[in-house]
Amino acid sequence: MKGVGFAINASYLWYAPIMNDRLSLYGGVGAQVTSRRYYPSEFAASNAYVKNVGIGPTANIGLEILPKQTPYSIFFEGGLYAELLPAFLHFSPQLNAGIRYNF
């Protein structure tokens, strides 16, 4: 598959409940490690690719919904990743949605 990669993110989040305790806005900062494979145009004839691992800080804001009687929540968030290594200050906007286990 072309352009395959992954990211692992750890963030510290601050919450602000809205309307009730089951709906919250949050924001936070953290760090992210990425791995990506891409095909630069200069390698197009040979189908060769470049593989990189990157690291950098993240910032995000989001909305979290906590259903009753469960430790799981549903979240929607947007943020920014600023890679420090190997591409210094390569900015990447990010949108995420998922299920979070709260302990």
- Contact call for residues 85 and 55 (beta carbons, < 8 A): yes
- Contact call for residues 28 and 12 (beta carbons, < 8 A): yes
The mean of the pLDDT values for the chain is 89
pLDDT of residue 103: 81
pLDDT of residue 53: 93
**Does residue 47 register a pLDDT over 60?**
yes
Task: Return the domain boundaries, the chain.
Answer: 5-101
**Does residue 79 register a pLDDT over 70?**
yes
**Does residue 64 register a pLDDT over 90?**
yes
**CA distance from start to end of the chain:** 36
**Does residue 78 register a pLDDT over 70?**
yes
* Mean pLDDT confidence for 72-87: 95
**Does residue 37 register a pLDDT over 90?**
no
pTM above 0.85, yes or no: no
Helix, coil or strand: residue 42: helix
Cβ contacts of 32 within 8 Å, gap of 6 or more: 7, 8, 9, 10, 55, 56, 57, 58, 81
The whole-angstrom separation of Cα 94 and Cα 72 is 22
